[in-house]
Amino acid sequence: MHILGYRVPALLPPGMLVVLLLAGVVFLVVRHRASPARSLLSAVLTLWTGMVLLATLAPQRLGAIQIERHGQRVCAVLPHLSPWGALHDDQRLLNVLLFIPLGALVFVFHRRAAARVAVMVALLPIFIEVVQYTFRSLNRACDGTDVVDNWMGLAIGLVIGLAVAVPVWAVRKVRRQLRARVNAA
């Protein structure tokens, strides 16, 4: 199957349904502990993380694509790794774009939870490449450049998320102060 000119693994559509159901469960569980908006954003984070994992770990077509040197599997890195290179290569650009929402959604959580989520999201590209390297049956090529591109997307997303979160935090602080004054009066 092809979407927008890209070959889509056969497991992607059923996997998307499973991820959608999982995101619904997350929404229902978080809804009892948090606001509806935070519940929805937690479900969106779950949904996007699942989509990233499906897009990067779904088995590819048959045929050897693993990179080997002297009979040993290796994880490739582009020799001229530059941030601007991601703008000229569709594969690299997709790796950047895929992780921007994950970085932006980190600030949905409270400070302590946000730090844990940020660490997990930052480790996700490494996890993906280790799985691609370890499991030959996925027929995916491990590429260290993907990690750098994913981190670039996370950094862009974190900047976007922070730009949105800071005004929201300021409004919440003003509201708390106003409530405290009203309650004190």
DSSP summary character for residue 62: S
User: CA-to-CA distance for 144 and 146, rounded, in angstroms?
Assistant: 5
Predicted local distance difference test score (pLDDT) of residue 140: 78
- Amino acid code (one letter) for 113: A
Tens digits of per-residue pLDDT, 131-175?
988 887 777 778 888 888 899 999 999 999 889 888 888 898 999
Count of positions (residues) in the chain: 185
With tokens 């997307």, the residue in question is 153
pLDDT tens readout for residues 72-126: 565 666 655 666 565 666 777 888 889 999 999 888 777 777 888 889 999 999 9
Cβ–Cβ < 8 Å for 143, 75:
yes
* pLDDT given for residue 73 in this prediction: 60
Reply yes or no on whether the pLDDT at 69 is more than 60.
no
What is the widest separation between alpha-carbon atoms in the chain? 78
> How many C-alpha atoms does 107 have within 13 Å on its Cβ side?
19
What's the angle, vertex CA 24, arms to CA 19 and CA 34, rounded to 5? Answer: 130
What are the structure tokens assigned to 80, written together?
């001229």
Average pLDDT over residues 58-63: 63
In angstroms, how far is CA 87 from the centroid of its own chain? Answer: 19
